[in-house]
């Protein structure tokens, strides 16, 4: 519509700002709303030649991405007054492609849990149950998910170390793409784990996610993890459904691996997974195949080995740990655990990680092209790509999602499968009702009334 002159970037920005003004008191999705800057950027976009699908599109940016001249807090005492001198590489690339930053979104403190204040008071709610703060909105990219689901932004950015893109996408009926480690630069993003942090988009469907990742991805001199990798394929084409005549078919012949127990049972989630598999199996060119769990799966993906990520968390923050533990708020335990983990344990964990990667590639991806996931952690350990997307709802109207995992740099294959599935389903088109206007305007519960996470809660939930 913008390209064809049917809509101006300023009109679009004003529409989103109006929703933010009305409903943000309930959702509490943002730390900072950049209304004046967004309007100025929209006016400038309206005067420029159209630059592509992100031209004039308003986005929400997670508050651990550096934004030049705009406070970037990571919901932490440590960064409460931090104003970066430049944009994170991913933000700079989105803006270079014409996107407009509406604001910075709430997140788990230092990217550990669902969005809370540094001392654990719950802030952001699930857009589907805004009056029930106890409903999990997903973390730690909570504010981005709620802003997109609640139609306060078109799409947004997140980071994933232990499910922080796929979990809020599943919780709020979105399509979230965690790319392969190195696909998107981490330069200018407040770190949680050097080998597990993955920047990526939270969007409404596969095509939007592809548009976002296309802009964000690519080599960056400021991040060696991005260098020397396979080229970024045409993700937007991959996320475009393919038809033979009127019949939908897979873009590539694709084996979807099904792990043991994935759809067992009669719960709402199990029934949604069964229906998802049945629908995918009817798409021409897609074949379901049973895939065994790799050898010693529970051991290699369990807490003992997963916790070797914690020294990577502590290492860049050692000066802060030595100076004042109070700066870490309710999430301090994870940083202390990382500081106290021994070098022998860390090295053993790295060897276990290589063994796990070898077994996933040899024992899973020798049999399939993509694989269903019951949780994000194993592929987060390995830096492999994943996509979370909606597959149904509970009887109470809460979204149900699932996750597909892919081989290294196979984001295009993941997008193609989800795009085909979304071409024959409408879950991704469904939107939550607006909060009651009176609640939104006059009776929003303050953060302290929404509950609180304790230090023990954070340890149990942390990414």
How much is the pLDDT for 74? Answer: 98
pLDDT of the residue at 187:
98
Q: What is the pLDDT of residue 301?
A: 95
CA distance 102 to 157: 12
Distance CA 13, CA 39 (A): 7
Q: Are strands 58-62 and 100-105 parallel, antiparallel or unpaired?
A: parallel
Torsion, Cα 443 446 447 451, to 10 degrees, reads -80
- Provide CATH 3.90.1300.10 ranges for the chain: 2-291+367-433
Residue positions counted in the chain: 463
Model pLDDT, residue 438: 46
CATH 3.30.420.140 fits 2-291+367-433, yes or no: no
Count Cβ neighbours within 10 Å for each residue of 89-113 and write b for 16 or more, e otherwise: bbbbbbbebbbbbbbbbbbbbbbbb
Q: How far apart are CA 222 and CA 182, in angstroms?
A: 12
For 390, the 3-state DSSP assignment is strand
How far, in Å, CA of 282 to CA of 250, rounded? 10
Residue 340: Cβ within 10 Å count: 10
- The rounded distance, in Å, linking the Cα atoms of 334 and 460 is 10
pLDDT, residue 445, reads 53
| Residues identified as active-site | 62, 140, 164
Tens of pLDDT along the chain (463 residues)?
Answer: 999 999 999 999 999 999 999 999 999 999 999 999 999 999 999 999 999 999 999 999 999 999 999 999 999 999 999 999 999 999 999 999 999 999 999 999 999 999 999 999 999 999 999 999 999 999 999 999 999 999 999 999 999 999 999 999 999 999 999 999 999 999 999 999 999 999 999 999 999 999 999 999 999 999 999 999 999 999 999 999 999 999 999 999 999 999 999 999 999 999 999 999 999 999 999 999 999 999 999 999 998 899 999 999 999 999 999 999 999 999 999 999 999 999 999 999 999 999 999 999 999 999 999 999 999 999 999 999 999 999 999 999 999 999 999 999 999 999 999 999 999 999 999 999 999 864 554 445 554 589 999 999 998 888 7
CA 227 to chain centre: 23
């Amino acid at each position: 519509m913008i390209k064809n002159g049917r809509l101006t970037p300023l009109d679009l920005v004003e529409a989103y700002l109006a929703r933010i003004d009305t409903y943000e008191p309930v959702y509490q999705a943002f730390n900072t709303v950049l209304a004046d800057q967004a309007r100025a950027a929209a006016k400038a976009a309206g005067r420029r030649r159209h630059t592509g699908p992100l031209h004039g599109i308003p986005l929400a940016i997670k508050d651990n991405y550096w934004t030049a001249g705009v406070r970037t807090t990571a919901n932490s005492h440590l960064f409460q007054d931090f104003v970066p001198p430049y944009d994170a590489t991913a933000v700079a690339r989105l803006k270079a492609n014409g996107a407009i930053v509406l604001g910075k979104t709430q997140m788990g403190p230092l990217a550990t849990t669902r969005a809370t204040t540094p001392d654990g008071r719950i802030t952001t709610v699930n857009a589907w149950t805004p009056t029930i703060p106890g409903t999990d909105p997903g973390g730690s990219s909570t504010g981005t998910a709620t802003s997109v689901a609640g139609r306060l932004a078109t799409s947004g950015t997140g980071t994933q170390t232990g499910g922080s893109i796929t979990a809020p996408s599943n919780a709020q009926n979105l399509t979230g793409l965690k790319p392969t480690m190195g696909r998107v630069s981490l330069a200018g993003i407040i770190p949680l784990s050097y080998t597990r942090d993955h920047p990526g988009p939270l969007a409404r469907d596969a095509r939007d996610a592809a548009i976002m990742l296309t802009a964000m991805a690519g080599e960056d001199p400021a991040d060696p993890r991005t260098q020397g990798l396979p080229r970024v394929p045409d993700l937007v084409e991959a996320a475009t459904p393919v038809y033979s005549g009127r019949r939908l078919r897979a873009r590539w012949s694709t084996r979807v691996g099904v792990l043991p127990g994935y759809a067992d049972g009669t719960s709402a989630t199990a029934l949604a997974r069964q229906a998802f598999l049945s629908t995918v199996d009817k798409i021409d060119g897609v074949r379901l195949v049973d895939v065994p769990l790799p050898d010693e799966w529970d051991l290699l993906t369990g807490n003992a080995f997963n916790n070797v990520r914690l020294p990577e968390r502590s290492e860049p923050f050692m000066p802060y740990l030595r100076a004042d533990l109070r700066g870490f708020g309710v999430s301090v335990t994870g940083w202390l655990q990382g500081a106290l983990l021994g070098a022998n344990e860390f090295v053993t964990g790295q060897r276990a990680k290589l063994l796990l990667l070898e077994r996933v590639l040899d024992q899973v991806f020798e049999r399939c092209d993509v694989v269903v996931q019951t949780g994000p952690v194993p592929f987060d350990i390995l830096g492999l790509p994943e996509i979370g997307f909606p597959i149904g709802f509970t009887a109470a109207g809460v979204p149900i999602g699932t996750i597909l995992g892919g081989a290294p740099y196979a984001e295009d294959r993941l997008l193609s499968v989800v795009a085909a599935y979304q071409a024959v389903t409408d879950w991704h088109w469904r939107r939550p009702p607006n909060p009651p206007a009176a609640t939104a305007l006059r009776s929003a519960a303050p953060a302290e009334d929404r509950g609180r996470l304790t230090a023990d809660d954070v340890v149990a939930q942390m990414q």
